[in-house]
Amino acid sequence: MLSSKESLTQRKKLPVSTRQGPPKALEKDWPKDNDEVEEKEEEENYVLHDPERGLDSLPQPYRMINKLVELLFDQSWELIEERAALRQADSTRIRPTVYTPVSEIQLSQRPSCMAMSQDYVFFGGAKGFSIYNLYNAERLYAWEKLRVDVTSIGVTDLGSEILIAPVDEMGIIRLFYLYKDALFLIKAINEVDDASKQPTCVKMEISQGGDFAAFLLQGAGDTWLDVYKLPREAWLKEAEHLPLTLNPKKKSTMDPITPDSADMDVNFSFKSDVKLSPPVHIMKIKPPKPITGTTFKSPLEAFAKVEDCLGLGSGQNHLIRDSQWEQRADLFHASYKKHLDRELGEEPLSSATFYFLLPSCVTSMPAEAKSSSGVAYVLGIHWTGSHNFFLYSLNRTLKDRAEPEGVWPCAAPIAASRLSCSSSYLVLACEDGVLTLWDVAEGFPLGVIALPEGCFCQSIHFLKYFVVHKGQNLYPEGPVKSQVKCVVLCTNTSLHLVTASSTQGPTSQVLVTRPVKLLDETICAVAPVPTLPGMVLTFARNGSMSLMDVAKAEVVCAFALPRAPRLAVTWKPLFAVSLHHPCFLLQGDCPGKEEPTSDTEDTRNSVFCFNFEAYPLLKNISKNRTISQEGSTENLALPLEKRCELLLQKSFQKLKTSLVTKDQEWIRLRRYSTLLQKENFRK
């Protein structure tokens, strides 16, 4: 006879249909799937410990609903655990010191772009641009004569002269000339009378000495590059004959401006009635034609087409016929038919990246050409999807054919490139992640290096070469030859340091890996700091800013705005780093509120200045940043002969010191021996 507890257990485990009456349809007769078989086995192996907690088996579709609810709870719990682990890791992480801006520039409207020279800051905005004093944040002049806003602005500082090139929303670029306290409008480069035929300016570049300018234009489904020669000497003579007021003596420090010195500033004046000499159009370059079938019957005919080896290596003169191209295209379409059947959008217009190169061993200047030192002679350019880097001579007129004087072919299409500030080094990054580093001044490649697997170049930033001496980054005094350091930001937001020299092949070091969990900390922008050796500014998507030491791959400190930026979308910081002063400017933004208040509106129209010399951790780095050539014999930036000479001098000095020490010890021993002999004689 069963006990009362066992009978109660049996009653608890009876199916619902048994307790409610005769069954209408038994569940065992239903077709069973794998999940139901597993549930059946679990029910058979189930041991009931607490009769009060016994559960009845749910019929379909309630079991499926129960599974979905349990899965939802499991996923939610995993997410809760993951966030708790992230909070715990974030709480234990060592946070760098955070510095706030030292000053603020109040603007009347929100800037859309900015640029910085040695003494002035230029802000582009509604209907024009404005010029501010860098030292006391005083507005000197505002040129607002446009019907649309300025979207970008370029500034080239030539010492006493400054070239300004703003681009408006219509794509029209204008060239301004600032001399002393006068502002001149040189020319609207691409402005036409018919607005329907108005070409837009996509990019612009001015040579290092301000003698040439190039503008990439697009219009009517076509793209081309216009190159101009700028008559700087004529501008200087024409401007000097005007009655201008001289500017005060330029200041070389970022110290606060006293009221007396602030009163010395003279506002600029726009000379609308003065027309300076226009720039001279010397060349128009179009994208290379697509490679098609040839009509040549022999290699001699193909070589005869090349005049003075111009354009040799571009692939235009070959022996591949149309039938071979068609056969190759058929094979390609047959192999990738499923990918090519998709509807493709309109093919974007071709773009280009271009630089002005100084005369060197690679870009030699003919004997009949007369040019002073520091004046660009060659224009280097590569087009979108092209394997070739073309070199065009600037010693020509518009009547001459725009044919390249040289071609540097690459194994894959060039995705990105960068020319150093000194125009001595060039980096070409291909779409396959391979970087080629060139020493343009000496005329030879420093090496080829491939980024880690899955890393493709997004942008390249040159660093002024530095050495690490006693744990401190220092700039070597004197010229540096064939030494390159640059940081590469990849498409997966990882950051790499690439180093190369004439004696050692290029090497790559990972500075920042791609964050896996904290995706809001991914890097969106990088900027080198020329006044701090081996330092770069990094901007993250969550609005954080940090200063990184690339030699140690460590964050030195962080920077923050007075109020956190609004991050409804990916943050695109608007900033400018000074090449001459230890500071950088950053545009403020309103905090994360739905309805901005008056305070947030003021912040949106403000630009904040971060002065490195005002922060304790960076003050000494900014002041003590150079080392003499004799200060470190392991300085690889020195020529080989100089390093050998310093090493021999150091070895000779050590040997001399050692010999003097041994002589002193020998004399000391002789004296001690003499004293012992005298003592023994007395005894």
The pLDDT tens digits for 137-196 are 899 999 999 989 999 999 999 888 999 999 999 999 999 999 988 899 999 999 998 888
**Tokens 């080896």 — which residue?**
309
Tens of pLDDT, residue by residue over 136-152, are 889 999 999 998 999 99
Using the 8-state DSSP alphabet, how is residue 14 labeled?
A: S
**End-to-end Cα spacing for the chain:** 123
Distance CA 327, CA 225 (A): 34
Q: What SS3 string covers 82-131?
A: HHHHHHHHHHHCCCCCEECCCEEEECCCCCCEEEECCCEEEEEECCEEEE
Most confidently predicted of 57-71, 299-313, 355-369: 57-71
What pLDDT, on a 0 to 100 scale, did the predictor assign at position 566? 61
Model pTM?
A: 0.74
Q: Looking at the predicted structure, is the pLDDT value of residue 254 above 50? A: no
pLDDT per position as a tens digit, 463-500: 999 988 888 888 888 778 888 999 999 999 999 999 99
Q: Tell me, what's the pLDDT at 11?
A: 44
- φ, ψ for residue 226 (rounded to 5)? -100, 130
Q: What is the pLDDT of residues 13-46, one digit of tens each?
A: 444 444 444 444 444 555 555 555 555 665 555 5
Q: How confident is the model at residue 343 (pLDDT cuts 50, 70, 90)?
A: low
> Please, are residues 622 and 532 in contact by the beta-carbon 8 Å criterion?
yes
Residue type, 163: L
332: pLDDT confidence band, cut at 50, 70 and 90? confident
Nearest-angstrom CA–CA distance, 99 and 52 = 63
Closest among 164, 159, 150 to 230, alpha carbons compared: 164
User: Letter for the amino acid at 407?
Assistant: V
